[in-house]
Chain A
Amino acid sequence: MINGLSIGSVYALMAVGYSLIYSLLSFTNFAHAVAVTAGAYVSCYLFMYTQPNLLLGLVASLLGGALVSVLIEILVYRNMLMKRNSKKLYLMIAGWGISTVAENLIIIFISSISQFYPSELTSMGSIQLLGSSIGKVDVIILVLSILSMAALQSYISFSRDGLAIRGASHNLQYASLMGVNTDTLLIKVFAIAGVLAGIAGLFMGIKYTAYPTLGSVMTNKAFISAVLGGLGSLPGAIAGAFLLGVIEVFVAGYISSALRDMISFGILILVLIVRPSGLMGKSSEDKA
């Protein structure tokens, strides 16, 4: 159960980033995966040269994730967003292209083999709680993830930028008319998404090692979570992620681990068909 929640909380970190960007630009940022992978690799490499220190890794990963995410926004998406008539689908394809490039460059320049984190981080032993043994790693991940999301929530609720983001998610054009600088706003949003993705990358690296397709495999899950909860809704994304994490652990534990991924994709397709706006999303009708 804790295991499921801990995985769910990492999915949530990524899903929130997806949803945040979707709420502003209404497209699915496939390049989100790159930020996750970057987060995983940055720390992994850092620990080869320094003492493994979770806090240090956290800072490095979140910076790495943010940097990658912002770079992609500035170099690729901004150009496309400026164009009239640029279809949302094209943004998705571009993001997917970026993540393909990144995966293959990692294989070329690093290796296709999994990179292991130092054992100090991966096996910290377990604690006894209510008669069952729970991995310390899982607990730490769960706590830190929840803290990060709480930080994000308070940032969006209370800061000036948060206000701008909330306003812009209603209508980006109006926000820019109201004097919000959408360029810097988008950079901030991509940075936030990148920070969360970087942290998620670190945690995923600790749990599963760092490998080239880590980002795309994991963000697929995050994406399913975001759809489950309703794209563009942050609380929905979080709820969807926890739900998916717990379902996966139960399916893997009680049915078969091979079925796990199939069940998650099955859920995705089912939700898309039955309720495309997600379980908690509000349905919207496009104006022609």
Chain B
Amino acid sequence: MTEPLLKITGLTKQFGGLTAVDDFHLSIPKGAIYGLIGPNGAGKTTVFNMVTGIIPPTSGTIVFDGKDITGQQPHLIARKGIARTFQNIKLFESLTVFKNVLTVAQAQMTYNLLESTLHIGRYRKQEKEMEAFSHSILEQMGLAPYADMISSNLAYGLQRRVEIARAMALKPKLLILDEPAAGMNEDESLALVELIVSLRDQFDLTVLVIDHHMDMIMRLCEKITVLNFGKYIAFGTPEEIQANDHVIEAYLGVDDE
């Protein structure tokens, strides 16, 4: 058994007196697609925000790729290989699809201000390389026809796809998707499942997904963790989760739209 790519232990977050996440734990092996579900307000996004460093945890540890990343600055965590999308799409709205991807891909550029001002040294070569790289990502994600469109002009489903493309530009090891199918119809979410699986296979990726679309989660994920009121209540395969009494109880009367 190899070391898991992401290992979360004892993760807790308190806002004021309120405990949003309580003693959460999860390990994801490399190459797996895991799901995190739970009713509204269960603390799923809070877990994501702690893993990506947007908010610091109150206690607990997060180990990624063998290194402790607990409480590190978010941009450093991102550069270590954790990329994410957001529940309420956060694209660079007034930029084109291509610029959205390029802006993230450039994390790999190493030229300095002098080189870019005088257009000497590494500037031209790196700019060319990253432009080609960004185009190749758009190509792979079927977004090439939209490359020059302003991202906020795209239809909702496409915007979700652009957000994933942008995350892929970081060359991540772990991709975290926060409700990627929100606002999508049945066909679109089916296409999304295919896309996520193919990305995993092509890029040697590990994926963690939150979503409310139970169908999609059950179809996509190998293992699922269930949160309720900030507490971990179940973990298992989709079949196990569907049969779990605690989970059924948590979702009873909750509209899982």
Please give the residue numbers on chain A whose beta carbons come within 8 Å of chain B beta carbons, in ascending order.
282, 285, 287-288
Q: Determine the chain B residues whose CB is within 8 A of the CB of A288 once the complex forms.
A: 45, 49, 54-55, 86
Cα–Cα, bound, A285→B57 (Å): 12
CB distance from A92 to the nearest CB of B (A): 21
Whether the pair A282, B16 counts as a contact (CB closer than 8 A) is yes
CB distance from B153 to the nearest CB of A (A): 15
Cα–Cα, bound, A135→B46 (Å): 57
CB distance from A85 to the nearest CB of B (A): 8
Q: List 12 A-B contacts (CB under 8 A).
A: A282-B16, A285-B15, A285-B55, A287-B45, A287-B46, A287-B49, A287-B55, A288-B45, A288-B49, A288-B54, A288-B55, A288-B86
Cα–Cα, bound, A288→B47 (Å): 11
CB distance from A113 to the nearest CB of B (A): 46
Q: Determine the chain A residues whose CB is within 8 A of the CB of B15 once the complex forms.
A: 285
Question: Which 9 pairs from chain A and chain B are nearest by CB?
Answer: A288-B54, A288-B49, A285-B55, A285-B15, A282-B16, A288-B86, A288-B55, A287-B45, A287-B49
Q: Determine the chain A residues whose CB is within 8 A of the CB of B55 once the complex forms.
A: 285, 287-288
Q: Determine the chain B residues whose CB is within 8 A of the CB of A285 once the complex forms.
A: 15, 55
Cα–Cα, bound, A288→B56 (Å): 12
Q: Determine the chain A residues whose CB is within 8 A of the CB of B45 once the complex forms.
A: 287-288
Please give the residue numbers on chain B whose beta carbons come within 8 Å of chain A beta carbons, in ascending order.
15-16, 45-46, 49, 54-55, 86
- What 9 additional pairs, Cβ within 8 angstroms, besides A285-B15, A285-B55, A288-B45? A282-B16, A287-B45, A287-B46, A287-B49, A287-B55, A288-B49, A288-B54, A288-B55, A288-B86
CB distance from B85 to the nearest CB of A (A): 12
Q: Determine the chain A residues whose CB is within 8 A of the CB of B54 once the complex forms.
A: 288
Closest Cβ neighbor of A288 among chain B residues: B54
Cα–Cα, bound, A288→B44 (Å): 12
CB distance from B92 to the nearest CB of A (A): 13
Q: Determine the chain A residues whose CB is within 8 A of the CB of B86 once the complex forms.
A: 288
Q: Determine the chain A residues whose CB is within 8 A of the CB of B16 once the complex forms.
A: 282
Closest Cβ neighbor of B48 among chain A residues: A288
Cα–Cα, bound, A207→B16 (Å): 43
Cα–Cα, bound, A206→B49 (Å): 53
CB distance from B36 to the nearest CB of A (A): 16
Cα–Cα, bound, A282→B16 (Å): 9
Closest Cβ neighbor of B16 among chain A residues: A282
Closest Cβ neighbor of B87 among chain A residues: A288
Cα–Cα, bound, A282→B15 (Å): 11
Closest Cβ neighbor of A285 among chain B residues: B55
Cα–Cα, bound, A285→B13 (Å): 12
Closest Cβ neighbor of B93 among chain A residues: A85
CB distance from A226 to the nearest CB of B (A): 21
Cα–Cα, bound, A106→B97 (Å): 48
